[in-house]
Structure 1
Amino acid sequence: MNKFLLSLSLIFFSAGIASAQDDAAELAKKLANPIASLISVPFQNNTDYGIGEFNGTRNTMNIQPVIPISISKDWNMITRVVLPVVTQYSITAPGEKQSGLGDAVMSAFFSPANSEKLTWGVGPALLIPTGTNDFLTTEKFGMGPTAIALKQVNGWTIGALVNQIWSVAGNADRPDVSQMFVQPFVNYNWKSGAGIGANMEWTQNWEASTATVWLNPTISAVTSLGKQKTQFVVGPRLNLAAPDGGKADWGWRAVVIFLFPK
Protein backbone atom coordinates (compact mmCIF):
# COMPACT_ATOMS: atom_id res chain seq x y z
CA MET A 1 0.00 0.00 0.00
CA ASN A 2 2.80 2.39 0.93
CA LYS A 3 4.60 1.60 -2.34
CA PHE A 4 1.39 2.28 -4.25
CA LEU A 5 0.92 5.66 -2.56
CA LEU A 6 4.57 6.55 -3.16
CA SER A 7 4.28 5.62 -6.83
CA LEU A 8 1.07 7.62 -7.17
CA SER A 9 2.70 10.64 -5.53
CA LEU A 10 5.67 10.44 -7.90
CA ILE A 11 3.35 10.27 -10.89
CA PHE A 12 1.46 13.40 -9.81
CA PHE A 13 4.71 15.19 -8.93
CA SER A 14 6.22 14.38 -12.33
CA ALA A 15 3.02 15.44 -14.07
CA GLY A 16 3.10 18.72 -12.15
CA ILE A 17 6.68 19.40 -13.20
CA ALA A 18 5.87 18.56 -16.83
CA SER A 19 2.82 20.82 -16.75
CA ALA A 20 4.83 23.68 -15.23
CA GLN A 21 7.52 23.26 -17.89
CA ASP A 22 4.89 23.23 -20.64
CA ASP A 23 3.38 26.44 -19.25
CA ALA A 24 6.80 28.10 -19.02
CA ALA A 25 7.71 27.01 -22.55
CA GLU A 26 4.44 28.34 -23.97
CA LEU A 27 4.82 31.66 -22.15
CA ALA A 28 8.43 31.98 -23.31
CA LYS A 29 7.30 31.32 -26.89
CA LYS A 30 4.61 34.00 -26.65
CA LEU A 31 7.04 36.48 -25.09
CA ALA A 32 9.43 35.99 -28.00
CA ASN A 33 6.56 37.18 -30.21
CA PRO A 34 5.95 40.93 -29.65
CA ILE A 35 2.39 40.64 -31.00
CA ALA A 36 1.31 37.45 -29.23
CA SER A 37 -2.12 37.28 -27.61
CA LEU A 38 -0.69 37.82 -24.13
CA ILE A 39 -1.09 40.75 -21.76
CA SER A 40 2.32 41.69 -20.40
CA VAL A 41 3.89 44.63 -18.58
CA PRO A 42 7.65 44.81 -19.18
CA PHE A 43 9.96 47.10 -17.22
CA GLN A 44 13.12 47.33 -19.32
CA ASN A 45 16.08 49.03 -17.66
CA ASN A 46 19.06 50.14 -19.76
CA THR A 47 22.17 51.59 -18.10
CA ASP A 48 24.90 52.97 -20.36
CA TYR A 49 28.35 54.21 -19.38
CA GLY A 50 31.14 56.29 -20.88
CA ILE A 51 28.90 58.37 -23.12
CA GLY A 52 30.45 61.12 -25.20
CA GLU A 53 33.26 63.53 -24.43
CA PHE A 54 32.19 64.01 -20.79
CA ASN A 55 32.16 60.26 -20.03
CA GLY A 56 28.50 60.47 -19.07
CA THR A 57 26.02 57.90 -17.77
CA ARG A 58 22.40 57.37 -18.74
CA ASN A 59 19.76 55.15 -17.15
CA THR A 60 16.55 54.57 -19.11
CA MET A 61 13.64 52.63 -17.66
CA ASN A 62 11.20 51.78 -20.46
CA ILE A 63 7.69 50.97 -19.28
CA GLN A 64 6.17 48.89 -22.09
CA PRO A 65 2.65 47.52 -21.50
CA VAL A 66 1.36 45.24 -24.26
CA ILE A 67 -2.40 44.63 -24.50
CA PRO A 68 -3.95 42.42 -27.20
CA ILE A 69 -7.58 43.07 -28.16
CA SER A 70 -9.69 40.68 -30.20
CA ILE A 71 -11.61 42.78 -32.73
CA SER A 72 -13.12 39.82 -34.63
CA LYS A 73 -12.71 36.07 -34.93
CA ASP A 74 -10.08 36.65 -37.61
CA TRP A 75 -8.21 39.73 -36.38
CA ASN A 76 -6.45 40.97 -33.26
CA MET A 77 -5.21 44.45 -32.43
CA ILE A 78 -2.12 44.50 -30.25
CA THR A 79 -1.42 47.82 -28.55
CA ARG A 80 2.06 48.63 -27.31
CA VAL A 81 3.36 51.68 -25.44
CA VAL A 82 6.99 52.57 -24.76
CA LEU A 83 7.31 55.25 -22.06
CA PRO A 84 10.91 56.04 -21.07
CA VAL A 85 11.92 57.33 -17.63
CA VAL A 86 15.40 58.80 -17.98
CA THR A 87 18.15 59.93 -15.62
CA GLN A 88 21.43 61.08 -17.13
CA TYR A 89 24.65 62.60 -15.80
CA SER A 90 27.38 64.52 -17.64
CA ILE A 91 25.74 64.14 -21.04
CA THR A 92 25.09 67.80 -21.88
CA ALA A 93 27.95 69.19 -19.75
CA PRO A 94 30.30 67.92 -17.02
CA GLY A 95 28.40 67.33 -13.78
CA GLU A 96 25.01 68.28 -15.26
CA LYS A 97 22.01 66.06 -14.54
CA GLN A 98 18.68 65.70 -16.32
CA SER A 99 15.87 63.40 -15.29
CA GLY A 100 12.23 62.86 -16.12
CA LEU A 101 10.00 61.32 -18.73
CA GLY A 102 11.02 61.00 -22.35
CA ASP A 103 8.65 61.00 -25.31
CA ALA A 104 6.28 58.03 -25.58
CA VAL A 105 5.77 55.89 -28.67
CA MET A 106 2.40 54.16 -29.03
CA SER A 107 1.84 51.42 -31.62
CA ALA A 108 -1.15 49.37 -32.70
CA PHE A 109 -0.59 46.22 -34.76
CA PHE A 110 -3.47 44.63 -36.66
CA SER A 111 -2.62 40.94 -36.96
CA PRO A 112 -4.44 37.81 -38.20
CA ALA A 113 -5.72 35.76 -35.28
CA ASN A 114 -4.70 32.47 -36.91
CA SER A 115 -1.45 32.84 -38.82
CA GLU A 116 0.28 29.47 -39.00
CA LYS A 117 3.32 29.94 -41.25
CA LEU A 118 4.26 33.59 -40.74
CA THR A 119 3.10 35.89 -37.95
CA TRP A 120 2.75 39.50 -39.02
CA GLY A 121 1.10 42.76 -38.08
CA VAL A 122 0.83 46.29 -39.43
CA GLY A 123 -0.58 49.52 -38.09
CA PRO A 124 0.12 53.08 -36.97
CA ALA A 125 2.81 54.38 -34.63
CA LEU A 126 2.40 57.66 -32.74
CA LEU A 127 5.01 59.88 -31.12
CA ILE A 128 3.62 61.67 -28.05
CA PRO A 129 5.74 64.50 -26.53
CA THR A 130 5.45 63.39 -22.91
CA GLY A 131 9.01 64.50 -22.12
CA THR A 132 9.38 66.62 -19.00
CA ASN A 133 12.83 68.06 -19.70
CA ASP A 134 14.02 70.05 -22.72
CA PHE A 135 16.88 67.57 -23.25
CA LEU A 136 14.53 64.55 -23.11
CA THR A 137 11.80 65.59 -25.54
CA THR A 138 11.37 66.53 -29.18
CA GLU A 139 8.30 68.65 -28.30
CA LYS A 140 6.74 67.18 -31.43
CA PHE A 141 3.71 65.04 -32.18
CA GLY A 142 4.48 62.44 -34.82
CA MET A 143 2.96 59.53 -36.68
CA GLY A 144 3.79 56.92 -39.26
CA PRO A 145 3.52 53.23 -40.15
CA THR A 146 4.83 50.27 -38.19
CA ALA A 147 5.10 46.59 -39.13
CA ILE A 148 6.39 43.32 -37.74
CA ALA A 149 6.94 39.85 -39.17
CA LEU A 150 8.31 36.73 -37.48
CA LYS A 151 8.60 32.98 -37.78
CA GLN A 152 8.54 30.51 -34.87
CA VAL A 153 9.69 26.91 -35.28
CA ASN A 154 11.36 24.30 -33.03
CA GLY A 155 12.03 26.75 -30.21
CA TRP A 156 13.42 29.44 -32.53
CA THR A 157 11.89 32.87 -33.13
CA ILE A 158 13.29 35.02 -35.93
CA GLY A 159 11.80 38.30 -37.05
CA ALA A 160 11.99 42.06 -37.32
CA LEU A 161 10.03 45.14 -36.28
CA VAL A 162 10.17 48.48 -38.08
CA ASN A 163 8.55 51.89 -37.83
CA GLN A 164 8.95 55.28 -39.47
CA ILE A 165 7.71 58.42 -37.72
CA TRP A 166 7.39 61.95 -39.08
CA SER A 167 6.50 64.97 -36.95
CA VAL A 168 3.13 66.54 -37.80
CA ALA A 169 2.74 69.20 -35.09
CA GLY A 170 4.49 70.71 -32.10
CA ASN A 171 7.00 73.39 -31.20
CA ALA A 172 8.02 75.11 -34.44
CA ASP A 173 11.34 76.13 -32.89
CA ARG A 174 12.41 72.51 -32.43
CA PRO A 175 13.82 70.36 -35.26
CA ASP A 176 11.38 68.27 -37.28
CA VAL A 177 11.31 64.53 -36.68
CA SER A 178 11.88 61.98 -39.43
CA GLN A 179 13.05 58.83 -37.72
CA MET A 180 13.17 55.15 -38.62
CA PHE A 181 13.52 52.35 -36.08
CA VAL A 182 14.51 48.83 -37.16
CA GLN A 183 14.76 45.91 -34.72
CA PRO A 184 15.71 42.47 -36.07
CA PHE A 185 15.62 39.79 -33.37
CA VAL A 186 16.35 36.11 -32.80
CA ASN A 187 15.56 33.94 -29.77
CA TYR A 188 15.84 30.31 -28.79
CA ASN A 189 13.78 28.94 -25.90
CA TRP A 190 14.13 25.59 -24.17
CA LYS A 191 11.15 23.68 -22.80
CA SER A 192 12.04 24.86 -19.30
CA GLY A 193 11.24 28.45 -20.33
CA ALA A 194 14.89 29.50 -20.31
CA GLY A 195 16.18 31.20 -23.42
CA ILE A 196 18.97 33.02 -25.20
CA GLY A 197 18.63 35.68 -27.83
CA ALA A 198 19.76 38.93 -29.32
CA ASN A 199 18.33 41.95 -31.04
CA MET A 200 19.72 44.95 -32.85
CA GLU A 201 18.13 48.37 -32.34
CA TRP A 202 18.88 50.74 -35.20
CA THR A 203 17.51 54.29 -35.01
CA GLN A 204 18.03 56.39 -38.13
CA ASN A 205 17.55 60.14 -37.80
CA TRP A 206 16.96 61.27 -41.38
CA GLU A 207 16.86 64.97 -40.46
CA ALA A 208 20.31 64.91 -38.85
CA SER A 209 21.72 62.11 -41.06
CA THR A 210 22.83 60.14 -38.01
CA ALA A 211 22.38 56.54 -36.88
CA THR A 212 22.37 54.95 -33.44
CA VAL A 213 22.84 51.18 -33.32
CA TRP A 214 22.78 48.88 -30.28
CA LEU A 215 23.35 45.13 -30.14
CA ASN A 216 21.65 43.45 -27.16
CA PRO A 217 22.45 39.77 -26.46
CA THR A 218 20.34 38.34 -23.62
CA ILE A 219 19.55 35.33 -21.48
CA SER A 220 16.06 34.87 -20.04
CA ALA A 221 13.92 32.67 -17.81
CA VAL A 222 10.22 32.34 -17.02
CA THR A 223 9.29 31.68 -13.40
CA SER A 224 6.59 32.38 -10.83
CA LEU A 225 6.68 34.90 -8.01
CA GLY A 226 3.93 33.37 -5.94
CA LYS A 227 1.05 33.20 -8.40
CA GLN A 228 2.49 35.91 -10.64
CA LYS A 229 4.08 34.58 -13.83
CA THR A 230 7.23 36.56 -14.56
CA GLN A 231 10.09 36.61 -17.03
CA PHE A 232 13.56 37.91 -16.20
CA VAL A 233 15.95 39.03 -18.95
CA VAL A 234 19.52 40.28 -18.62
CA GLY A 235 22.46 40.97 -20.90
CA PRO A 236 25.12 43.44 -22.06
CA ARG A 237 24.56 46.31 -24.49
CA LEU A 238 27.03 47.09 -27.26
CA ASN A 239 26.86 50.53 -28.86
CA LEU A 240 27.93 49.87 -32.46
CA ALA A 241 27.19 53.34 -33.83
CA ALA A 242 26.10 56.74 -32.53
CA PRO A 243 26.15 60.42 -33.52
CA ASP A 244 29.43 62.27 -32.98
CA GLY A 245 30.08 62.70 -29.27
CA GLY A 246 27.25 60.37 -28.25
CA LYS A 247 28.69 56.86 -28.30
CA ALA A 248 28.73 54.81 -25.09
CA ASP A 249 31.62 52.59 -24.03
CA TRP A 250 29.30 49.85 -22.78
CA GLY A 251 25.99 49.17 -21.09
CA TRP A 252 23.70 46.51 -19.70
CA ARG A 253 20.02 45.63 -19.86
CA ALA A 254 17.79 44.06 -17.22
CA VAL A 255 14.10 43.38 -17.79
CA VAL A 256 11.28 42.20 -15.55
CA ILE A 257 8.09 41.24 -17.39
CA PHE A 258 4.86 40.59 -15.51
CA LEU A 259 2.62 38.19 -17.43
CA PHE A 260 -1.14 37.88 -17.40
CA PRO A 261 -2.04 34.78 -19.44
CA LYS A 262 -5.71 34.16 -20.16
Structure 2
Amino acid sequence: MAILNHNFSFPTMKKYLFLFAFSISFTFQVFAQDDAAELAKKLANPIASLISVPFQNNTDYGIGTFRGSRNTLNFQPVVPVAINENLNMITRVVLPIITQYNVTGEGQKQNGVGDAVMSAFFSPTNSKKLTWGVGPALLLPIGSQDFTAKKFGVGPTAVALKQFNGWTVGGLINQIWSIAGDESHTDVSQMFLQPFVVYNWKSGAGVGANMEWTRNWKASRSVVWLNPTLSAVTAMGKQKVQFAIGPRFNLAAPDAAKADWGWRAVIVLLFPK
Protein backbone atom coordinates (compact mmCIF):
# COMPACT_ATOMS: atom_id res chain seq x y z
CA MET A 1 0.00 0.00 0.00
CA ALA A 2 0.96 3.66 -0.19
CA ILE A 3 3.88 5.03 1.82
CA LEU A 4 3.92 8.69 2.80
CA ASN A 5 6.13 10.72 0.52
CA HIS A 6 6.47 14.47 0.92
CA ASN A 7 7.64 14.76 -2.71
CA PHE A 8 4.48 13.18 -4.09
CA SER A 9 3.08 15.34 -6.92
CA PHE A 10 0.35 15.49 -9.51
CA PRO A 11 2.67 14.04 -12.23
CA THR A 12 3.13 11.05 -9.94
CA MET A 13 -0.65 10.76 -9.63
CA LYS A 14 -0.94 10.87 -13.45
CA LYS A 15 1.51 7.97 -13.65
CA TYR A 16 -0.63 5.90 -11.25
CA LEU A 17 -3.79 6.77 -13.17
CA PHE A 18 -2.13 5.69 -16.44
CA LEU A 19 -1.10 2.37 -14.90
CA PHE A 20 -4.60 1.91 -13.53
CA ALA A 21 -6.16 2.64 -16.95
CA PHE A 22 -3.85 0.00 -18.42
CA SER A 23 -5.03 -2.49 -15.79
CA ILE A 24 -8.64 -1.80 -16.79
CA SER A 25 -7.88 -2.51 -20.46
CA PHE A 26 -6.07 -5.70 -19.38
CA THR A 27 -9.20 -6.69 -17.44
CA PHE A 28 -11.23 -6.59 -20.67
CA GLN A 29 -9.02 -9.36 -22.07
CA VAL A 30 -8.46 -11.74 -19.17
CA PHE A 31 -11.65 -11.87 -17.13
CA ALA A 32 -15.04 -13.21 -18.18
CA GLN A 33 -17.44 -10.29 -18.53
CA ASP A 34 -20.41 -12.01 -16.89
CA ASP A 35 -18.38 -12.89 -13.78
CA ALA A 36 -16.75 -9.46 -13.60
CA ALA A 37 -20.05 -7.62 -14.04
CA GLU A 38 -21.76 -9.64 -11.30
CA LEU A 39 -18.87 -9.17 -8.86
CA ALA A 40 -18.70 -5.43 -9.60
CA LYS A 41 -22.45 -5.14 -8.95
CA LYS A 42 -22.11 -6.93 -5.61
CA LEU A 43 -19.12 -4.81 -4.60
CA ALA A 44 -21.10 -1.63 -5.23
CA ASN A 45 -23.60 -2.94 -2.65
CA PRO A 46 -22.20 -2.71 0.93
CA ILE A 47 -24.58 -5.46 2.11
CA ALA A 48 -24.25 -7.93 -0.76
CA SER A 49 -23.92 -11.63 0.04
CA LEU A 50 -20.21 -11.69 -0.78
CA ILE A 51 -17.21 -12.30 1.45
CA SER A 52 -14.64 -9.60 0.75
CA VAL A 53 -11.50 -8.25 2.40
CA PRO A 54 -10.84 -4.62 1.40
CA PHE A 55 -7.59 -2.80 2.15
CA GLN A 56 -8.40 0.89 1.67
CA ASN A 57 -5.40 3.23 1.79
CA ASN A 58 -5.87 7.00 2.19
CA THR A 59 -2.90 9.36 1.94
CA ASP A 60 -3.53 13.04 2.71
CA TYR A 61 -1.27 16.09 2.40
CA GLY A 62 -1.04 19.66 3.67
CA ILE A 63 -2.83 19.01 6.95
CA GLY A 64 -3.23 21.91 9.37
CA THR A 65 -0.77 24.58 10.48
CA PHE A 66 2.35 22.45 9.99
CA ARG A 67 1.38 21.14 6.52
CA GLY A 68 1.47 17.59 7.77
CA SER A 69 0.69 14.30 6.05
CA ARG A 70 -1.21 11.23 7.14
CA ASN A 71 -1.51 7.68 5.82
CA THR A 72 -4.53 5.64 6.96
CA LEU A 73 -4.87 2.02 5.93
CA ASN A 74 -8.39 0.78 6.68
CA PHE A 75 -8.66 -2.99 7.03
CA GLN A 76 -12.39 -3.69 6.62
CA PRO A 77 -13.46 -7.32 6.09
CA VAL A 78 -17.10 -8.01 5.18
CA VAL A 79 -18.67 -11.39 6.03
CA PRO A 80 -22.33 -12.24 5.27
CA VAL A 81 -24.12 -14.82 7.42
CA ALA A 82 -27.40 -16.44 6.37
CA ILE A 83 -29.85 -16.26 9.31
CA ASN A 84 -32.56 -18.08 7.35
CA GLU A 85 -33.84 -18.22 3.77
CA ASN A 86 -35.34 -14.72 4.10
CA LEU A 87 -32.73 -12.84 6.14
CA ASN A 88 -28.99 -12.22 5.97
CA MET A 89 -26.70 -10.62 8.53
CA ILE A 90 -23.77 -8.77 6.96
CA THR A 91 -20.94 -8.07 9.40
CA ARG A 92 -18.39 -5.37 8.68
CA VAL A 93 -15.33 -4.22 10.66
CA VAL A 94 -13.30 -1.07 9.99
CA LEU A 95 -9.87 -1.03 11.64
CA PRO A 96 -7.62 1.97 10.80
CA ILE A 97 -3.81 1.73 10.85
CA ILE A 98 -2.38 5.26 10.95
CA THR A 99 0.96 6.98 10.39
CA GLN A 100 1.21 10.78 10.46
CA TYR A 101 3.93 13.45 10.31
CA ASN A 102 3.83 17.13 11.32
CA VAL A 103 0.14 16.97 12.23
CA THR A 104 0.29 17.57 15.99
CA GLY A 105 3.49 19.63 15.82
CA GLU A 106 6.51 20.36 13.65
CA GLY A 107 8.75 17.31 13.47
CA GLN A 108 6.24 15.16 15.37
CA LYS A 109 5.38 11.65 14.22
CA GLN A 110 2.70 9.25 15.48
CA ASN A 111 1.76 5.79 14.31
CA GLY A 112 -0.53 3.10 15.59
CA VAL A 113 -3.97 1.56 15.37
CA GLY A 114 -7.23 3.45 15.73
CA ASP A 115 -10.42 2.30 17.43
CA ALA A 116 -12.44 -0.25 15.45
CA VAL A 117 -16.05 0.16 14.33
CA MET A 118 -18.03 -3.07 13.95
CA SER A 119 -21.42 -3.10 12.19
CA ALA A 120 -24.03 -5.79 11.61
CA PHE A 121 -26.70 -5.18 8.96
CA PHE A 122 -29.82 -7.36 8.92
CA SER A 123 -31.08 -7.39 5.33
CA PRO A 124 -33.87 -9.27 3.47
CA THR A 125 -32.52 -11.74 0.93
CA ASN A 126 -35.16 -10.94 -1.70
CA SER A 127 -35.31 -7.16 -1.85
CA LYS A 128 -36.69 -6.35 -5.31
CA LYS A 129 -36.98 -2.58 -5.66
CA LEU A 130 -34.87 -1.26 -2.79
CA THR A 131 -32.02 -3.06 -1.04
CA TRP A 132 -31.71 -2.13 2.62
CA GLY A 133 -30.27 -3.24 5.92
CA VAL A 134 -30.36 -2.05 9.53
CA GLY A 135 -28.60 -3.08 12.72
CA PRO A 136 -26.19 -2.06 15.48
CA ALA A 137 -22.81 -0.35 15.23
CA LEU A 138 -20.19 -0.73 17.97
CA LEU A 139 -17.16 1.44 18.77
CA LEU A 140 -14.41 -0.79 20.18
CA PRO A 141 -11.66 1.13 22.07
CA ILE A 142 -8.73 -1.00 20.94
CA GLY A 143 -6.65 1.83 19.47
CA SER A 144 -3.13 2.76 20.53
CA GLN A 145 -2.52 5.74 22.83
CA ASP A 146 -2.46 8.46 20.15
CA PHE A 147 -5.57 7.27 18.28
CA THR A 148 -8.14 6.05 20.79
CA ALA A 149 -11.18 7.66 22.37
CA LYS A 150 -10.94 5.16 25.26
CA LYS A 151 -14.72 4.81 25.08
CA PHE A 152 -16.96 1.87 24.25
CA GLY A 153 -19.83 3.06 22.07
CA VAL A 154 -23.01 1.76 20.49
CA GLY A 155 -25.72 3.03 18.18
CA PRO A 156 -27.79 2.27 15.08
CA THR A 157 -26.62 1.90 11.50
CA ALA A 158 -28.53 1.62 8.24
CA VAL A 159 -27.91 1.38 4.51
CA ALA A 160 -30.25 1.66 1.52
CA LEU A 161 -29.54 1.50 -2.20
CA LYS A 162 -31.05 0.91 -5.61
CA GLN A 163 -29.35 -0.84 -8.53
CA PHE A 164 -30.50 -0.36 -12.15
CA ASN A 165 -28.91 -0.42 -15.62
CA GLY A 166 -25.35 -0.58 -14.27
CA TRP A 167 -25.98 2.14 -11.68
CA THR A 168 -25.86 1.84 -7.89
CA VAL A 169 -27.16 4.79 -5.89
CA GLY A 170 -27.51 4.78 -2.12
CA GLY A 171 -26.25 5.81 1.27
CA LEU A 172 -24.98 4.50 4.60
CA ILE A 173 -25.33 6.10 8.03
CA ASN A 174 -24.44 5.34 11.61
CA GLN A 175 -24.65 7.22 14.91
CA ILE A 176 -22.56 6.13 17.89
CA TRP A 177 -22.78 7.25 21.53
CA SER A 178 -20.28 6.22 24.20
CA ILE A 179 -21.76 4.24 27.08
CA ALA A 180 -18.65 3.23 29.03
CA GLY A 181 -14.93 3.87 29.23
CA ASP A 182 -12.31 6.18 30.66
CA GLU A 183 -14.13 9.02 32.44
CA SER A 184 -11.19 11.37 31.89
CA HIS A 185 -11.84 11.29 28.13
CA THR A 186 -14.60 13.21 26.37
CA ASP A 187 -17.80 11.30 25.69
CA VAL A 188 -18.47 10.26 22.10
CA SER A 189 -21.48 11.34 20.06
CA GLN A 190 -20.55 10.92 16.41
CA MET A 191 -22.44 10.48 13.16
CA PHE A 192 -21.04 9.08 9.92
CA LEU A 193 -22.96 9.63 6.67
CA GLN A 194 -21.82 8.22 3.30
CA PRO A 195 -23.93 8.79 0.16
CA PHE A 196 -22.51 6.99 -2.88
CA VAL A 197 -23.04 6.51 -6.61
CA VAL A 198 -21.31 3.97 -8.90
CA TYR A 199 -21.64 3.05 -12.55
CA ASN A 200 -20.25 -0.32 -13.68
CA TRP A 201 -19.73 -1.51 -17.24
CA LYS A 202 -20.19 -5.18 -18.19
CA SER A 203 -16.41 -5.60 -18.14
CA GLY A 204 -16.41 -4.99 -14.38
CA ALA A 205 -14.76 -1.59 -14.74
CA GLY A 206 -16.50 1.22 -12.93
CA VAL A 207 -16.52 4.90 -12.05
CA GLY A 208 -18.08 6.35 -8.94
CA ALA A 209 -17.86 8.69 -5.98
CA ASN A 210 -18.83 8.90 -2.37
CA MET A 211 -18.98 11.64 0.22
CA GLU A 212 -17.89 10.87 3.79
CA TRP A 213 -19.29 13.24 6.42
CA THR A 214 -18.22 12.69 10.02
CA ARG A 215 -19.99 14.89 12.58
CA ASN A 216 -18.70 15.24 16.14
CA TRP A 217 -21.76 16.52 17.98
CA LYS A 218 -19.87 17.11 21.24
CA ALA A 219 -17.35 19.44 19.61
CA SER A 220 -19.76 20.79 16.95
CA ARG A 221 -17.25 19.94 14.23
CA SER A 222 -17.60 18.25 10.84
CA VAL A 223 -15.10 16.63 8.49
CA VAL A 224 -16.25 16.07 4.90
CA TRP A 225 -14.37 14.24 2.15
CA LEU A 226 -15.32 13.71 -1.50
CA ASN A 227 -13.80 10.55 -3.03
CA PRO A 228 -14.18 9.93 -6.79
CA THR A 229 -12.73 6.59 -7.97
CA LEU A 230 -12.04 4.42 -10.99
CA SER A 231 -12.28 0.67 -10.39
CA ALA A 232 -11.78 -2.66 -12.11
CA VAL A 233 -12.39 -6.32 -11.29
CA THR A 234 -9.85 -8.88 -12.45
CA ALA A 235 -8.11 -12.07 -11.33
CA MET A 236 -4.60 -12.71 -10.04
CA GLY A 237 -4.25 -16.41 -10.68
CA LYS A 238 -7.29 -17.93 -8.98
CA GLN A 239 -7.80 -14.97 -6.65
CA LYS A 240 -10.46 -12.52 -7.81
CA VAL A 241 -9.72 -8.92 -6.86
CA GLN A 242 -10.96 -5.40 -7.34
CA PHE A 243 -8.66 -2.39 -7.68
CA ALA A 244 -9.77 1.21 -7.23
CA ILE A 245 -7.94 4.53 -7.23
CA GLY A 246 -8.79 8.21 -7.16
CA PRO A 247 -8.16 11.63 -5.59
CA ARG A 248 -9.60 12.84 -2.28
CA PHE A 249 -10.92 16.35 -1.65
CA ASN A 250 -11.30 17.68 1.91
CA LEU A 251 -14.42 19.84 1.59
CA ALA A 252 -14.72 20.76 5.27
CA ALA A 253 -12.72 20.33 8.48
CA PRO A 254 -11.48 22.41 11.43
CA ASP A 255 -8.45 24.52 10.42
CA ALA A 256 -6.08 22.40 12.49
CA ALA A 257 -7.20 19.23 10.68
CA LYS A 258 -8.00 20.37 7.13
CA ALA A 259 -5.93 18.84 4.32
CA ASP A 260 -5.09 20.30 0.91
CA TRP A 261 -5.78 17.06 -0.93
CA GLY A 262 -5.23 13.34 -0.86
CA TRP A 263 -5.63 10.12 -2.79
CA ARG A 264 -7.20 6.73 -2.23
CA ALA A 265 -6.07 3.30 -3.41
CA VAL A 266 -8.05 0.15 -2.69
CA ILE A 267 -7.41 -3.57 -3.13
CA VAL A 268 -10.35 -5.89 -2.39
CA LEU A 269 -9.85 -9.65 -2.14
CA LEU A 270 -13.05 -11.43 -3.24
CA PHE A 271 -14.36 -14.81 -2.14
CA PRO A 272 -17.54 -15.53 -4.14
CA LYS A 273 -19.51 -18.65 -3.29
TM over 0.5: same fold?
A: yes
3-state secondary structure, aligned to 1:71:
strand
Task: Give 1:49-198 correspondences, 5 Å limit.
Answer: 49-133=61-145, 135-198=146-209
One-letter code aligned to 1:74: N
The question of 1:48 aligning with 2:22 is answered: no
Output the CA distance in 1 between the equivalents of 2:127 and 2:30: 27
3-state secondary structure, aligned to 1:148:
strand
The question of 1:233 aligning with 2:244 is answered: yes
Output the CA distance in 1 between the equivalents of 2:260 and 2:158: 31
Please list every run of 5 or more consecutive structure 2 residues that lacks an aligned counterpart in the other structure.
1-28
Q: Deviations over 1:207-241 (max 9, x none)?
A: 00000000000000000000000000000000000
Percent sequence identity over matched residues?
A: 73
The question of 1:247 aligning with 2:258 is answered: yes
3-state secondary structure, aligned to 1:217:
strand
One-letter code aligned to 2:119: S
Output the CA distance in 2 between the equivalents of 1:95 and 1:129: 27
Structure-1 residue corresponding to 2:219: 208
One-letter code aligned to 2:167: W
Structure-1 residue corresponding to 2:231: 220
Identify the range of structure 1 (242-251 vs 65-74) with the bigger mean alpha-carbon deviation: 242-251
Output the CA distance in 1 between the equivalents of 2:103 and 2:147: 11
**Per the alignment, do residues 171 and 19 of structure 1 end up closer, same or farther by CA in structure 2, a change over 3 Å counting?**
closer
Could you tell me the TM-score, scaled by structure 2's length? 0.89
Aligned pairs, number: 245
> 4+ runs of 1 displaced by more than 4 Å?
none
Structure-2 residue corresponding to 1:24: 36
Q: Alignment RMSD, CA only?
A: 1.0
Instruction: Say if 2:241 and 2:269, in contact at 8 Å, map to a contact too.
Output: yes
Structure-1 residue corresponding to 2:8: none
Per the TM alignment, residue 245 of structure 1 is displaced from its structure 2 partner at its CA by: 1.3
One-letter code aligned to 1:57: S
- Indicate the structure (1 or 2) with the bigger Cα radius of gyration: 1
Output the CA distance in 2 between the equivalents of 1:26 and 1:67: 18
Q: Deviations over 1:102-141 (max 9, x none)?
A: 00000000000110100000000000011112x2110110
